[in-house]
Structure 1
Amino acid sequence: MRTAVLEGPGKFVIREVPIPQPQDGEVLIKVASCGVCHSEMGLWDGSFGQYPSRIGHEVSGTIVQLGSGVDSLSEGQRVTIFTDRHGYSEYVAVPAEYVIPIGSNTSFTAALGEPIGCVVNGLRRARIGLGDTVVLVGVGFMGLIMLQLVRIQGAGKVIVVDTRESALSRAAELGAHLCLNPKQDDVKQVVMDVTGGAGADFVIELTGNQSGLDLSSELVRIRGSLVVFGFHTSERRVNMFLWNWRGLDVINAHERDPRIYVEGIRVGMKLLEAGSLDMEPLVTHKFSLEQINEAFAVAYARGEDYVKAVIEP
């Protein structure tokens, strides 16, 4: 089978390797789609990681073979999976307990299980209540999923913050009540005005950078909640005086327990099938396996027209 091997910064090479054979309790999946994840950009640019590497973890596809002892799934079943590698391949073998069926009305492109599961689990940790004011700092791919699910949870007002006008336009189309650009707007002042000087009940940081974390901390009301959802790959400084003064609840929304991921993915697939979550407008770019270097270059550049890229082997 063909697989993409990251042999160094900015360099995927397509290799021929044997099709993996499912072991006891495993399932062999023919990959239909694998999302390009922002967390992989550090591997792409050489910031971290080791080479060669076979990555890719946002996988959906079809079961083509069952390992011994698997009786809860069937060949031909359309699924999404939880995995941490090898997704940029024609086939991948994973434990059956990490395989989640998808509905007949859900496309492979939409069934990006791992990121959807991340958002579901993050919001379960946050416990947003009916009528709460929520600020999303950063509305890229994950932020636009978050926006839809925050509204489902019954948030009273959802304010989004981003420096890209295209991101703000998409957020408005998906139901954001107020869209702010820090390049043009005094974000802190506007949020305080909207909340009567109190600040937001929940601020969800989705940028993964220092400035986004700093801004998020300033927008939370006394005894409000700061949800750190951005993917941070290095040390950060925090204003502990501000956190203490306001008595913030700080929630880290990323657990690495596979069982928790799978639970979140199952919920996410139900939301997709029910039509409560719309992923189709978020997938803006599609590439073949042979185009994977182009796909990563586009994802890394994050142009105005970009939200999400997928590889279709």
Structure 2
Amino acid sequence: MQTSTLKESKETSAGAQSLPSTMEAAVFAEPGKIEVQEVAIPQPAEDEILVKLEGCGVCASNIPNYEGRDWFNYPMEAGAPGHEGWGVVVKTGRRVTKFKTGERVAMLSYKAYAAYDVAKEEAAMKLDDKLAGKPFPGEPLGCAINIFNRSDIESGQTVAIVGIGFLGALLTQLCKDRGAKVIAISRRDYSLEVAKSCGADHTVPLHDHWEIIKEVKKITSEELCDRVIECTGKEWPLNLSGELLKNRGKLIIAGFHQDGMRSVNIQQWNWKGLDVINAHEREQEKYMEGMREAAGAVAEGRMNPEPLYTHQFSLDETQKAFEHITQRPDGFLKALITFS
């Protein structure tokens, strides 16, 4: 393709990389419509690095941005709201000391549906040689670690995971590695098969409220669960999760997206004496701690995300990627936008 050839020639010079002045980026132009536009390449501030992206994960939390909500403004900034990027450092700000060009990194940034993005020095981490050539969407992998750590899982406990997408599958792996018994509850037959491949001891379709409770009681000999991790972000499964917990159990809210309020059964939560843990971190350093631990978990085999990356799309196919994540065709779990 001629455009690609021209870009490659602009990016290569004798002995060093010559950066282009523009790049391609996905733009959420209006609800349900994503365009790829040529925009100015970002320039790193004194404490930032510029990263040529190898890829960016497509996050379910971006679905409201794609579908549209009254409180969003369109068009959104180029590359936004991509936040699961990884790639190679191509330029550093004057005050940056921890990174140099050519190093492979994962980072927290917010316009990563693009060929390049910038990140603060403290919001990036080097990727170990053991991860060479592997996709590493650091934010969701770190998120899984942080949720797991907040869940206080112990060997021998019974843990129900409600909603087996990418996050639920990773949490299944981590809970099994810790020695817990896992009951995976999810809507799609495909998701339940993924849960089995990740080590789930039991699978239950997320269909009928009372049948699910009945099945979990049967599995646990009427004792119910020590922990329930809710990953769907939806109201009904959140209330179902409270039903599945034994007295003084812990309800971990892992999925909750920016699409409005929820009505929950506080009376039940109070009666059972449940600990309710909102497990998403908001502090940057906590995110980074999770990402660093995730890199170790992947390198050591405690967490294996690669089989869960079911679909890869080019930047030009970002619209198609979001059609997949909203429609969830059979066989879909996690999409990556990748760059050659």
- TM-score of the superposition, structure 2-length normalised? 0.88
Secondary structure of 1:180's aligned partner: strand
Secondary structure of 2:249's aligned partner: strand
Classify 1:286/1:145 alpha carbon distance in 2 versus 1 (closer, same or farther; 3 Å).
same
Relative to structure 2, which stretch is displaced further, 65-74 or 264-273?
Answer: 65-74
Secondary structure of 2:131's aligned partner: coil
Distance in 1 (alpha carbons) for counterparts of 2:133 and 2:151: 29
1:167 aligns with 2:191: yes
Letter in 1 for 2:152: R
Secondary structure of 2:129's aligned partner: coil
Query: Residue by residue, what CA displacement relative to the aligned partner does 1:151-206 show, whole Å, maximum 9, x if unpaired?
Result: 22231x10000110000001101100001113379221121122221210000111
1:52 aligns with 2:75: yes
Distance in 1 (alpha carbons) for counterparts of 2:132 and 2:207: 37
Aligned counterpart for 1:75 among listed residues 90, 101, 104: 101
Measure how far apart 1:90 and its partner are.
0.7
The answer on whether the counterparts of 1:25 and 1:96 sit within 8 Å (CA) in structure 2 is yes
Classify 1:107/1:36 alpha carbon distance in 2 versus 1 (closer, same or farther; 3 Å).
farther
Residues 73-112 of structure 1 aligned to structure 2 (within 5 Å)? 73-83=99-109, 85-106=110-131, 110-112=135-137
Distance in 2 (alpha carbons) for counterparts of 1:90 and 1:108: 18
Secondary structure of 1:186's aligned partner: helix
1:215 aligns with 2:256: no
Distance in 2 (alpha carbons) for counterparts of 1:65 and 1:108: 21
Q: What are structure 2's unaligned runs of at least 5 residues?
A: 1-22
Distance in 2 (alpha carbons) for counterparts of 1:47 and 1:21: 31
Classify 1:159/1:213 alpha carbon distance in 2 versus 1 (closer, same or farther; 3 Å).
same
Give the corresponding residue for 1:308: 334
Give the corresponding residue for 2:316: 290
Give the corresponding residue for 2:163: 138
Q: What are structure 1's unaligned runs of at least 5 residues?
A: none
1:122 aligns with 2:144: no
Letter in 2 for 1:9: P
Letter in 2 for 1:264: G
Secondary structure of 2:215's aligned partner: helix
Secondary structure of 1:148's aligned partner: helix
The answer on whether the counterparts of 2:55 and 2:135 sit within 8 Å (CA) in structure 1 is no
Letter in 2 for 1:174: C
Letter in 2 for 1:3: A
Measure how far apart 1:107 and its partner are.
5.4
Distance in 2 (alpha carbons) for counterparts of 1:10 and 1:65: 34
Aligned counterpart for 2:37 among listed residues 7, 10, 15: 15
Distance in 2 (alpha carbons) for counterparts of 1:171 and 1:13: 35
Give the corresponding residue for 1:197: 222
Secondary structure of 1:272's aligned partner: helix
Give the corresponding residue for 1:28: 50
Relative to structure 2, which stretch is displaced further, 259-268 or 193-202?
Answer: 193-202
Distance in 2 (alpha carbons) for counterparts of 1:80 and 1:298: 24
Which of the pair has the greater relative contact order for Cα pairs under 8 Å at 6+ separation?
A: 1
Q: RMSD of the alignment, in Å?
A: 1.5
The answer on whether the counterparts of 1:61 and 1:108 sit within 8 Å (CA) in structure 2 is no
Give the corresponding residue for 1:176: 200
Distance in 2 (alpha carbons) for counterparts of 1:123 and 1:173: 19
Percent identity over paired residues: 38
Q: Which of structures 1 and 2 has the bigger CA Rg?
A: 2
Secondary structure of 1:17's aligned partner: strand
Distance in 2 (alpha carbons) for counterparts of 1:258 and 1:169: 34
The answer on whether the counterparts of 1:139 and 1:161 sit within 8 Å (CA) in structure 2 is yes
Secondary structure of 1:69's aligned partner: coil
Measure how far apart 1:292 and its partner are.
1.0
Distance in 2 (alpha carbons) for counterparts of 1:109 and 1:128: 28
1:158 aligns with 2:200: no
- TM-score of the superposition, structure 1-length normalised? 0.95
